Amino acid sequence: MNIGVPREHRTDEFRVGLTPAGVQLLSAMGHTCYIERDAGLGAGFSDMDYEHAGGKVVYSAQEVCGRAMLVLKVGRPTAEEVDMLLDGAIVLGFLHLAVSPREQVDTLLKKGITTIAYELVQTENGALPVQHPLSQAAGRMTPQIAATFMQNHHGGKGILLGGVPGVPPAEVVIVGAGAFGSAAAGAFLRAGANVYVLDKDLGRLQVLDEMQGMSGRLVTMVSHAFNLGKVTRFADVLIGGVLVPGQRTPVVITREMVKRMKARSIIIDASIDQGGCVETSRPTTHRDPTFIEEHVIHYCVPNMTSVVARTATHAFNNAAWPFIQDIALRGLDAALATSPALKRGVALHKGHVVNPALAAYLGVKEVAL
């Protein structure tokens, strides 16, 4: 099988779809891996690293996409990349098709592309094995982001996350107790902040309370409009970590709630890659990460972990490798037949929308896979 690894061309995307170790393993199986020049540079992998692993470095995305039937990416293909893909190719990555331009989805359907969205790969118990490590990484990043933008020279109120004796720490509110929210809660607690976590799932709150509650600085609450309105009034930092796999994230923090927040407080909407859970959110970039709306600083970068590219690339490749290996060894149909988790990750297949949530969002009929 010809396997392609394009360089990510979206703004400030430094991660790469496959590590040299993955190339070495696939090459040893007899597959040919085409790597776009400088694809791994942001994650610390040189072209020579890929060549030593058995890969073939080529000089454009067109060469990669024009040769490969299996394309391994991080983010959703650009419009130009979609046009370059071979008809009937298989694309793996964090695709977020529910918030992509409709014309790109239509082109993918027209070309009979099979898309496997890492964020949709899901086990029987609801776990998201490939999404999980990136959610953890993003959660652990949030205190350093919050600490930076609370500093005066970044427009913040000059609050130290952990406070000092005689001065209280920051009040941090996290909406969503999944992998991201749990990791963020632990990281903020270690930084010394007071932390409030809200979720609709009492089971998640129970687990989080047992894991982190010994500090006495963690408060868990059921997520509904009354409690959200209450906590947003005093939050120095509000973290949005709501995820509904395959769907646009529901808006749970309204503009009215944001208006009642303290001036120069901070919102970090980590669910912006799926549309955002805060009404006033809009996507930003690492180069221009914040804007002010209703006197509140908003940080809404969709690809948060791209700036810890080496860690993030290794993390999601470790989790994605069993699925990549299965497709490469046995072919797509056989892999889907024996892996329910991988099958749930398929959004588009040979000209049809097969994910029910995506079909409902697009207003088209789902076709069973």
Catalytic residues: 96, 273
Q: For the chain, how long is the longest CA-to-CA vector? A: 65
Residue in 148, 119, 122 with CA at minimum distance from that of residue 246: 119
Q: Which two tokens stand for residue 159?
A: 């609050």
Cβ atoms within 10 Å, residue 126: 8
Give me the residue label for tokens 């009642």: 260
Residue at 89: amino acid letter: A
State how far the Cα of 109 lies from the Cα of 176, in Å rounded to an integer.
Answer: 33
- DSSP type of residue 162: T
SS3 letters across 321-342: HHHHHHHHHHCHHHHHHHCHHH
Contact 93, 75 (CB under 8 A): yes
Q: What is the DSSP string of 105-141?
A: HHHHHHTT-EEEEGGG---TTS--TTHHHHHHHHHHH
Q: Is the distance from CB of 303 to CB of 296 less than 8 angstroms?
A: no
The CA-based dihedral angle spanning residues 317, 322, 328, 331, taken in that order and rounded to the nearest 10 degrees:
-130
Specify the amino acid at residue 337.
Answer: A
Say which amino acid occupies 329: L
Instruction: Report the half-sphere exposure of 45 (CA within 13 A, side-chain side).
Output: 30
Q: Give DSSP secondary structure letters for 16-61.
A: -SS-HHHHHHHHHTT-EEEEETTTTGGGT--HHHHHHTT-EEES-H
Element (H, E) at 70: strand 70-72
